A and B are shown apart, each in its own frame.
Chain A
């Protein structure tokens, strides 16, 4: 019975392959890109950004004739940033006949989804799931954003090359893997780059009320730059308390700092001059960004955020890899996956979130770090 079934299935597959473009799942003429991210709930701002940005890229590519003549269809599912829902969304996309997965948007959901996708041999490229766990030991997973630890390296490089402070203080949360991870790589890279880290202060969830000791110590140590690999909530307290002390170093944050300006009741004047490592600034004047921001505003009526740019780049990265590998939408999903994995390490993509992006075999991206500075309550490129 089993043999018979296998035979029938094999026959069906051969048939569909030779027919090239019949309606059988996974073998249509168009590329089927699936995506998933939170479109509702607390993290909806991230998922919507990615979905909208990706749609713009798909529309552009289709208008220009598609990838080697094949159009792209994009289907974006809502996973409310939840692991279980993300796996369900992924399965329904597979049923739809997905060739390439764009996602997921959030880290936790992505870790759940990636385990299934790894077993299924589906090629995945995530716009914004930044944990190293997303790609660890899974050759099919690629990231467009920096991994958390790489943000530390990128920050140290940027600070050493562009800002050149006399000495640096680091204040981080040592009961948080995100913060500790970035701090570790930052300090290592800072030493290699000859940056003088004169003071390191920690805090934990329990002691996140008072930073005056850390700030006083940083001030006494003569630090003119404070690196804050933390989320924006405690960062807002640090900005407030240092302002009250009359201490005004340069504050440098990473992606966790993104969001500080939208905090209810936060005085944007306090964040004046704060720098943060973010791959995308909507007011950049390069042609690609200007065009993207204009299209996005026309279509969705708001200024795109970093996630929209990540989503946009994801589609173009997938396109570049497909062109390099020379695969066709009619190929089997597993074969597409193997060939794209190989192609990913060979391509170089210029996108909204970085010039000359390349990928290592473990799925992490390498690109030049870019920072923005907050001026009059908006991000501008320094």
Chain B
């Protein structure tokens, strides 16, 4: 029973990583850049939904789409202002700019929302008539509790992964994205508006970040200006683990990182859990340099 409980918390944590990793992987796959500001867009999404839910009293199913839309706009704005002028610049310049954007967002949040952390009440729970909190389903006579937020996280992760897969393989826009991903010049010659495609990629990635923000803060129940940075780095690891640029890879990578972390904490040592996660990452990359599901593309000379 303990094992199941550890496994579920691992899957739930992994699902949040996976949703963030999907955002990383989308942008990397199409724009070929590491958007290190992604983690901070999560934080922005978290704050937006925090104020929507707790200051304006909106229910989560209104607050979530609202913060997704605002985050998508912010994502497009960041791309337009910070990354588009650097389209022809070396990738290192873009990487440094992304780190700059990340600091910009963090410090703006520090100014606007203050350094004090705020408690993010979990919206996926109800209060029983006797005042106690009903936060999940109790199984096996209370030995195993699965929280609603875990269920919502896992289900949304699967839905998002399937939807993105469908979008990139079946729709016209998705096909345009894949074309851009393979060869921007050739895509442009074929009549694809590359700038618009990249812009939409950022919009989707940032909307996903908003979802991740709500789910992360609902289970973490705390929001502060640095909320997004650590999970962002974890998720980046997950994206590389699964094969950066691959949508199912990000999903698998996120889940595995979450499960390994959880089980390592439970059965080996909480002190060693980080080392174990990264040791597994190194081993996987030694055996499969492109990640679990990544495509290895040999350079033609």
Contact = CB atoms under 8 A, between A and B. Distances in A.
A and B associate in one complex: yes
Interface of A: 42, 174, 200-210, 212-214, 216-217, 220, 233-234, 236-237, 240-241, 243-246, 263-267, 269
Contacts of A201: 265, 270
B171 interface: no
Contacts of A206: 230, 233-234, 274
A201 B122 CA distance: 24
A244 B54 contact: no
A213 B9 contact: yes
A217 B266 contact: yes
Contact of A210 (B13, B116, B119, B145): B13
Contacts of A209: 13, 216, 219-220, 230-231
B62 interface: no
B270 A265 contact: no
Contacts of B9: 210, 212-213, 216
7 contacts: A206-B230, A206-B234, A207-B265, A236-B119, A243-B135, A263-B117, A263-B119
Given A214-B265, A265-B119, 17 more contacts: A42-B115, A202-B271, A206-B233, A206-B274, A207-B261, A207-B274, A209-B220, A212-B5, A213-B9, A213-B262, A213-B270, A236-B119, A240-B119, A240-B221, A244-B147, A245-B136, A246-B135
Contacts of A263: 116-119
B156 interface: no
A360 B135 CA distance: 50
Given A216-B266, A264-B119, A237 B2 contact: no
B99 to A, nearest CB: 18
A357 to B, nearest CB: 33
A264 B221 CA distance: 12
- Listed residue (A234, A265, A266) with the most chain B CB atoms within 10 angstroms of its CB: A265
Please name the 4 residue pairs, one residue from A and one from B, whose CB atoms are nearest each other, closest first.
Answer: A244-B135, A265-B119, A212-B9, A266-B119
B270 A214 contact: yes
Contacts of A236: 117, 119, 221-222
A220 B271 CA distance: 19
B142 interface: yes
Contacts of A212: 5, 9, 12, 262
Interface of B: 2, 5-6, 9-10, 12-13, 50, 54, 115-122, 125, 131, 133, 135-136, 138, 142, 145, 147, 149, 216, 219-222, 224, 230-231, 233-234, 261-262, 265-266, 270-271, 273-274
Given A206-B274, A244-B122, A233 B222 contact: yes
A265 B220 CA distance: 14
A209 B115 CA distance: 18
Contacts of A240: 119, 122, 221
Given A216-B5, A233-B224, A263-B119, A244 B265 contact: no
A101 to B, nearest CB: 29
A237 B274 contact: no
Contacts of A174: 271
A246 B145 contact: yes
Contacts of B121: 265, 267
Contacts of A203: 270
Contacts of B120: 265
Contact of B142 (A204, A213, A246): A246
Nearest to A206: B230
Contacts of A265: 50, 54, 118-121
A220 B230 CA distance: 29
B221 A237 contact: yes
Contact of B116 (A241, A264, A269): A264
A42 B219 CA distance: 28
A275 to B, nearest CB: 20
Nearest to B261: A207
Nearest to B55: A265
Contacts of B10: 213
Contacts of B230: 205-206, 208-209
